[in-house]
């Protein structure tokens, strides 16, 4: 992983904010090694313009109004956009209320931000995609050399050896824009790209974190209690003097909606926080064990459109194009998440 001379890691986040996306944003702001270069917005959990509103509001909550936020493509490459208000609420942040953001959107298109920031720091930029891969696909179609310019690519998406969460075999991000996922996996995992990246000392393949590992990051009320204690308040954000910690109150209200959703559909009162786990892995690869495998995306299945098909038995005879997450250290992840975001909350109180 490439760090700047100051010891930080340049990170670009691509989001569809989303409750767990907002937690990834907070974790990025709370991580001292992160140089948050920009955030690009795609449609997914909610429409892209609401994503841009949520993203700027969360960054302002975290004290980072300086981070560039760019609106990308508002619809998938081919299909109409499908959103998920039942999972994240009608505005994407559950029961939470945030002030309208005061910072302006970037004048740049999200795909151009990805291309231009990768060109500005070849081999150094870590791109973390926790949304449908629409923006990254547009970026690579505009700049075919992008896979050689990005330092590291971590994707939250897919379901490789586990059931799906959208259909029996499909994960949400991949199902929203499967054509984009196919473009990205083909471009970043092409044999000549893998060879060139390996020769340059870069991670040869993108890392894909499917539900196989991200559902190990199961946040429970006890985690939120520990985080609130770290911030010096009750789990609802209330302090002993009657004032409110705004970050913890946001987390409590957003996560309450998310936990109720999982209680209805997944049989536990808690929440899978896929997206902050993906960011954490981008910062520390030891949090996962990966396996190199050939992956493709189903586009025309009657029951399986959007399935990320992994050739575990090497039936295709293709070289591996993706490093797929196979095992996760969720305990260490939660220790860091609680400490870092709790510390951020304390500082913002």
Q: Which residues are catalytic?
A: 274
Side-chain half-sphere CA neighbours of 288 within 13 A: 28
Quick one: 107 exposed, middle or buried, by C-beta within 10 A (0-12, 13-18, 19+)?
Answer: exposed
- CA-based nearest residue to 161, from 58, 314, 311, 16: 311
Q: Which residues contact 236 (CB under 8 A, 6 or more apart)?
A: 228, 248, 249, 252
To 5 degrees, how large is the angle CA 300–CA 303–CA 308?
65
Structure token pair of residue 328: 């996760």
Q: Which helix (H) or strand (E) holds 259?
A: helix 246-265
Rounded distance between C-alpha atoms, residue 127 and residue 153, angstroms: 5
To 5 degrees, how large is the angle CA 283–CA 287–CA 293?
100
Instruction: Decide the pairing of beta strands 271-272 and 218-219.
Output: antiparallel
- Do the beta carbons of residue 39 and residue 69 sit within 8 Å? yes
SS3 198: helix
To 5 degrees, how large is the angle CA 134–CA 136–CA 137?
65
- CA-based nearest residue to 156, from 137, 171, 145: 171
DSSP state of 39: E
Rounded distance between C-alpha atoms, residue 185 and residue 165, angstroms: 21
């Amino acid at each position: 992983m490439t760090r700047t001379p100051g010891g930080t890691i340049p990170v670009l986040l691509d989001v569809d904010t989303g409750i767990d996306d907002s937690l990834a944003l907070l974790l990025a702001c709370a991580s001292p090694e992160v140089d948050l270069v920009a955030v690009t917005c795609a449609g997914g959990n909610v429409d892209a313009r609401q994503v841009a509103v949520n993203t700027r509001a969360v960054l302002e909550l975290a004290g980072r109004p300086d981070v560039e936020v760019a609106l990308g493509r508002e619809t998938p490459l081919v299909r109409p956009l499908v959103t998920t208000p039942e999972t994240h609420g009608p505005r994407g942040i559950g029961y939470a209320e945030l002030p309208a953001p005061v910072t302006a959107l970037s004048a740049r298109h999200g795909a151009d931000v990805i291309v231009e920031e990768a060109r500005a720091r070849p081999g150094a930029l870590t791109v973390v995609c926790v949304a449908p891969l629409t923006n990254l696909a547009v970026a690579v179609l505009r700049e075919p050399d992008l896979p050689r310019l990005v330092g590291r690519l971590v994707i939250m998406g897919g379901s490789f050896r586990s059931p799906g969460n959208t259909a029996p075999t499909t994960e949400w991000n991949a199902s929203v824009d499967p054509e984009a996922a196919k473009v990205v996996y083909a471009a970043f995992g092409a044999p000549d790209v893998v060879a060139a990246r390996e020769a340059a000392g870069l991670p040869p393949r993108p890392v894909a974190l499917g539900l196989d590992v991200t559902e190990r990051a199961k946040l429970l009320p006890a985690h939120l209690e520990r985080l609130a204690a770290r911030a010096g308040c009750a789990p609802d954000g209330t302090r002993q003097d009657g004032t409110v910690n705004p970050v913890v109150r946001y987390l409590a209200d957003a996560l309450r909606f998310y936990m109720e959703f999982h209680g209805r559909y997944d049989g536990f009162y808690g929440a899978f926080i896929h997206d902050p786990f993906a960011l954490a892995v981008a910062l520390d690869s030891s949090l996962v064990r990966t396996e190199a495998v050939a992956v493709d995306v189903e586009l025309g299945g009657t029951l399986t459109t959007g399935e990320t098909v992994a050739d575990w038995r090497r039936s295709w005879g293709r070289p591996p194009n993706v490093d797929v997450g196979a095992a996760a250290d969720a305990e260490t992840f939660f220790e860091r998440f609680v400490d870092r975001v709790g510390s951020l909350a304390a500082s913002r109180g």
